[in-house]
Amino acid sequence: MSDFFVSYFSKFAEAVATVAPDDLLIATDVVGGVVGTGRKVIVVGNGGSAAVASHVAVDLTKAAGIRAVTFHDPGLITCLANDYEYERWVAEAIKSYADDGDVAILISSSGCSENILNGAIAASELGLSVVTFSGFEATNPLRSMGEVNFWVDSSDYNVVETTHQIWLLAVVDCLIDRSVVTT
């Protein structure tokens, strides 16, 4: 049984190591660009990716001092999904809550979730900076919709979601480190 865990953790280590450090620096600069502007970071995902989004938004706010929000209130989701269809609720939430100069981080393990794709389109149309996180197929549509796009070469939800979380929290920790160094 120990072979299972050795193999299991090696999948995570391999996935995490595939990130281009320069892309993480770009994402750090994009997210850090809201500091001192009164703008915010909007982080959205579905299911496990919603949990990742919530964790990242909390850490951005509390630990890095950057305003961040998620759209995971059941009332908001069901209201917008009922009125605009589920595929449009993220786009409508972004239209309702985004301000000029905000950043949208959109997370979809498959990169094919219609609500996240429509959210990316709405964010781009509003002029927001967009950062995407996806996995599964290399040709997934979300992978090309941001200023910087992160992709995990795996079809295993746990590997993809955990890798997204590690990369996003690395950005948060880099932002924290920068603020400590510059103060």
* Beta carbons within 8 Å of 84's beta carbon, 6+ residues apart: 91, 92
pLDDT on residue 180: 58
Domain ranges of the chain: 2-182
Q: How confident is the model at residue 1 (pLDDT cuts 50, 70, 90)?
A: confident
Structure tokens at 69: 């929000």
pLDDT on residue 155: 96
Residue 182 scores a pLDDT above 80: no
Per-residue pLDDT reduced to its tens digit, 162-175:
999 999 999 999 99
Strand-pairing partners, residue 42, are 69, 104
Q: What are phi and psi of 133, to 5 degrees?
A: -135, 125
Mean pLDDT of the chain: 96
- The answer to whether the CB of 153 falls within 8 A of the CB of 161 is no
Question: Which CATH architecture describes the domain 2-182?
Answer: 3-Layer(aba) Sandwich (3.40)
- The answer to whether the CB of 157 falls within 8 A of the CB of 109 is yes
Residue 154 scores a pLDDT above 80: yes
Per-residue pLDDT reduced to its tens digit, 48-106:
999 999 999 999 999 999 999 999 999 999 999 999 999 999 999 999 999 999 999 99
CA dihedral 41, 47, 49, 55 (to 10 degrees): 60
Q: How confident is the model at residue 2 (pLDDT cuts 50, 70, 90)?
A: confident
Largest CA distance in the chain: 53
Residue 183 scores a pLDDT above 80: no
pTM of the model: 0.96
CB count within 10 Å of CB 84 equals: 17
